Structure 1
């Protein structure tokens, strides 16, 4: 197809090409005798540790602590096992497009207008993501003061269960070689490590296309020491305040799927703790609902103030992602993110190709860039209304199959520097809080996006990538392929640099790597203990200032294991000294 044929595609073409596809069978559920529905829980129970959130950090943390102590893990969602929309690569996007109350994904829209998602399933975000597995950099580990030896051991502990080397076929190879040709060097081969240059990273999808998640790390657990309750929504952390200089966390109130209230308490013991691992939205939200947060905001919602903590909910970050669709004259294989270019100016370059048919050949799903999951870059964020999404979905359903030959090359802004805040909307813990990320508020973030788009242009024009491009489709044409849509994504500025800046702002999407809200030395100390109260920690990505590596899931899983081992070692040393 020539240039004129491509120009007549609707706006949906740019966004509508599916992202992932695979051929696999549903993973057989492990025999977890310790996993139960919360409806079976007693009215009152007692444990050494209560962990709120069975996600990417909560599962490895619970598994580790259960080796020596009794642990209750409370997860507001269900099990990922037996759900092919989670375990099968070819169904990527189906959970994210499911807006039902029972969906493993809960959609939220930031005040910026970017449509996003939070996990609601055992295993957390590792059940919904694109699967890329990559460690944090050595400088990231050093700056946080983590023990490097234990960090490496904890990564390895995770990788034995969930990490694999992906196949690298023609499209991914062309992007890899195009990155090298474009100067993103050296080539570091296959590695989990975060190194400047170009590399092939890991994946949590195995050779059969089956997803492995943080829930698989519960295979390490001591079944006699762990109780996991599903569909258990925590409404409040309980504190003792009478006669104490600092409030003491001593239990939680949670409700099961039938809305029946249960209470779980810590057993008597100075080192027993409640641990919040509910994610970057859930953790600050739950602290506020429990009375820890900015006092004026809590009083506005008629919440009793336990401890005035003005930094809860501040420092909310989401890495902006921008992508360019490249139609191909040659057939492309189906691939997920496998190759990454880690630039020195602060942009990560990744790619994917092929077509996905979640729900069968008659029901196309467009993966990571689909309006079905809220990714609609053909309109600026504030214009991505339900009506606009519906129109884009309808437009894509009418596309000819030739439209799906090609793939996306994307850039993710490192850090980022721009950040915002989270606030309660209401007291229902199942309701989404209000969150603002302030994408590209800092000029350096915008410049990183512009520089990343320039690298993508270089890849597209490289000799290595020539097989997968039409010679008459320049970057300017690719950026303007939405000219027939109601909104032209690239306003006709005379200054090309300004145009790229506008492109970044108008087409920004999420890559689901949001973090912050309970940051170290603001809300928690370096041991993740909540400042101003006793027996309470937050251990998850809400404590981060920067998203680690090119994808945070490896480090969040590592952190759960790392802190579990650290806590066990500290407790063992204390008990021996006594």
Structure 2
């Protein structure tokens, strides 16, 4: 490929961006799995009773419910469907297809933060582990100590998860070049392959196995006692039901949910001092459901005509999303398709990772539906506000004319730790299917911006390393790569038309999500260290909404671990109570 016009390179860049969020629509079914305890909510009785009701069959909810089922009766309510048999979830080659599906039945529900960054929340059994790029890594030991978790049980819980869903990825040329480049510029030591979070450069785990099949949190239901669990799909919980204990504390007693046909069902807790409702609906869903149930800021709930159960002004506060910024590097040689495998864990608070892509052959060869299709919603040559069906159709047609060499290249990206910048969430309506309004305030804290700048400059050094030389054009400067990256609209934030773009401005203008948002029900603000909701009884929140900071370089391993960890702790408390 001979470097041509900026327009051609911009098209190539957009094509490769779509690797991260691409559209590989396909009707071919992937591997299937059935659980005899899993069924559609339309089959549920009008009224039922359980020891535990878990709201949300996601990354935390599945391992939690599977664990609790061994000594109690558990109802797991999931608003989405099954991931099994859906190739757009199970196949690595179809990564991103679910994220670009805007249908009401999509496993991904798109939302746009008030900051103007396009994002997604899961709507499928298995949660975000069905949609993400698959990277699997544990939290740092310091994180575990600071949170106050039992280190031994944490390690046992990680191992329990890893037996079913974690794998060592096969390293190929692009990922190897990035790893060696990181080591060459001093992001050391070389920690090899490990699930552990250690400063330096490592190869992490993946929930994609060696054949490219995704394994999700839903797979952890294999551990469940089939006689102790019921999983209902397409079950939208509208509110948690409370009763008063005397005149002081509200007590959760059950939930109201509707099935896909709109029929109302009620599930109640059986009588017992240890029985609980547990919310595991995710960083948007959990604070949203608490508010819809009457737990939240009084004035805000009154404005939506929601009966107040408890004035809890901290519900929905502390929302954070780790900003991600990527630099696209067109390659003079073909590169493999790879998701996140390598990470440089720096001392200054930024994580350096990489992804690469080329056009697939075989069953995913169509440019109408291939991984580089402009049908994707987050990243494309078509600006977000101009993505009409006609504009997308023209972009798809234009992409057909591109030479295959336009699809060579990849990204090196950085994500900052923390972050320190926080925002908030509010309801838009009383309908649980509607997205709430959320603001993350990217780079509000200057330390976050500093970490981004250092991360981008570290990427420049990797690109200039000898190890990476085969994958870059000598004639392209780093400034030209930044400008190339900015040539594709990536968000709805105001753009700055500067002749020379500073790295600080590049961070602000090109910020994207890497789907690691968290907060809204944080420990010490909404729940205690045992994840019990403050001010009420028989109610917990166990998921990423309780995090003050995102753990490790990717939170999914820790969220799955937390489900198992808390399931073991809750059952231990239950057994001790029964023995007393």
* TM-score normalised per structure 2: 0.93
Conserved? CA contact 1:45–1:265, under 8 Å: yes
State the partner residue of 1:211: 214
Q: Match for 1:265 among 263, 268, 276?
A: 268
Mean Cα deviation higher: 479-488 or 42-51: 479-488
Gaps of 5+ in 1: none
2:300 counterpart of 1:297: yes
**Residues of 1 paired with 2:457 and 2:186: CA distance?**
12
State the partner residue of 2:552: 549
**Residues of 2 paired with 1:384 and 1:93: CA distance?**
21
State the partner residue of 1:243: 246
1:239, CA displacement in angstroms?
Answer: 0.1
**Residues of 1 paired with 2:485 and 2:171: CA distance?**
31
**Residues of 2 paired with 1:249 and 1:333: CA distance?**
51
**Residues of 1 paired with 2:119 and 2:486: CA distance?**
26
**Residues of 2 paired with 1:219 and 1:140: CA distance?**
29
**Residues of 2 paired with 1:98 and 1:264: CA distance?**
32
1:486, CA displacement in angstroms?
Answer: 9.2
1:31, CA displacement in angstroms?
Answer: 3.6
State the partner residue of 2:332: 329
Q: Report the number of matched residues.
A: 569
1:571, CA displacement in angstroms?
Answer: 1.3
Encode CA deviations 1:55-79: one digit per residue, 9 max, x unaligned.
Answer: 0000000000000000000000000
Conserved? CA contact 1:26–1:210, under 8 Å: no
Conserved? CA contact 2:56–2:78, under 8 Å: yes
1:482, CA displacement in angstroms?
Answer: 6.3
State the partner residue of 1:386: 387
Change in CA separation of 1:310 and 1:230 when aligned onto 2, cut-off 3 Å: same
SS in 2 for 1:247: strand
After TM superposition, list the pairs within 5 Å mapping 1:403-442 onto structure 2.
Answer: 403-442=406-445
SS in 2 for 1:480: helix
State the partner residue of 1:183: 186
After TM superposition, list the pairs within 5 Å mapping 1:365-384 onto structure 2.
Answer: 372-376=375-379, 384=385
Conserved? CA contact 1:295–1:309, under 8 Å: yes
State the partner residue of 1:57: 60
Q: Match for 2:517 among 507, 514, 525?
A: 514
**Residues of 2 paired with 1:563 and 1:40: CA distance?**
30
Conserved? CA contact 1:520–1:544, under 8 Å: yes
**Residues of 1 paired with 2:421 and 2:183: CA distance?**
29
Conserved? CA contact 1:105–1:121, under 8 Å: yes
1:480, CA displacement in angstroms?
Answer: 1.8
Conserved? CA contact 1:48–1:71, under 8 Å: yes
SS in 1 for 2:502: helix
State the partner residue of 2:259: 256
**Residues of 2 paired with 1:356 and 1:330: CA distance?**
13
Conserved? CA contact 1:60–1:217, under 8 Å: yes
State the partner residue of 1:116: 119
**Residues of 2 paired with 1:247 and 1:122: CA distance?**
30
State the partner residue of 2:365: 361
Q: CA RMSD in A?
A: 2.4
After TM superposition, list the pairs within 5 Å mapping 1:135-150 onto structure 2.
Answer: 135-150=138-153
SS in 2 for 1:435: strand
Conserved? CA contact 2:199–2:347, under 8 Å: yes
1:16, CA displacement in angstroms?
Answer: 2.2
1:448, CA displacement in angstroms?
Answer: 0.9
1:242, CA displacement in angstroms?
Answer: 6.3
